[in-house]
Amino acid sequence: MCTWTWGSQVERLTTSASRVSISLLQCASPRPPHALIADIQVTVAGTWHGVHRFHFYESAMLSTVRPLVGPEEGGTIVTLTSKSDHSFRSSAICRFGIELAVGIHLPVANRLACLAPPIGGAAVRHVPIFVSNNGQQFVFSEHHFSYLRRLLITSIWPTSGPADGGTFVRIGGVGFSQRPATLSHLLCKFNVSVVPAIFISAAEIACYSPEV
């Protein structure tokens, strides 16, 4: 049996414990009555064993997750922003579908960055994103991440235009997707100038050249 105590033993709850191995027991945490810090003790045959501190936390409620697309080889830094000011603990991690991803803590308390894992040859390329503060209970972020095939650029036409911009540049290739365009993630870069791209097909996009 596990006993959870809040304050000076004024409030106490018990939950059943199950034996995992000769050196390991497990019990489910109860819903805290008010305070988010409790002392936990294990009772075996009427004998109390140890006192350990357990911290309850509020589940993270996410407001934004960006970006929502990335290459199939992984490596995309995905930033999750919580609706509350202090939602992510130092142990927070992400999960993309069934694949775990290490959490990278940012200076802002309500933001967490996770490195998208590679997808390999998996058939499912549109996976849900989850987040957990303890590596056990995961909360669905209500967002999905799309893995894209590696882009291959085969043609650009025309390759020149007036310095005041406005040239309609068509870019041919393999691996273009409409989802990045829907999310405003499909872009063209002319040196340091970034402009929106127009999705035409899986083999072609286009963009207007900027003024230089």
91 pLDDT higher than 80: yes
Coil vs helix vs strand at 181: helix
Q: Which helix (H) or strand (E) holds 100?
A: strand 99-101
Residue-level pLDDT at 164 = 96
Coil vs helix vs strand at 201: strand
86 pLDDT higher than 70: no
Encode pLDDT of 153-210 as tens digits: 999 999 999 999 999 999 999 989 999 999 999 999 999 999 999 999 999 999 999 9
| Gap between the Cα atoms of 210 and 2, Å rounded | 66
Question: For residues 166-183, b (16+ Cβ closer than 10 Å) or e, as one string?
Answer: eeebebbeeebbeebbee
158: left (phi over 0), alpha (psi -120 to 50) or beta: beta
Average pLDDT over residues 13-20: 86
Q: How many CB atoms lie within 10 A of CB 88?
A: 23
Average pLDDT over residues 141-150: 90
Coil vs helix vs strand at 112: strand
pTM across the whole model = 0.77
Residues 6+ apart with CB under 8 A from 24: none
Residue-level pLDDT at 23 = 80
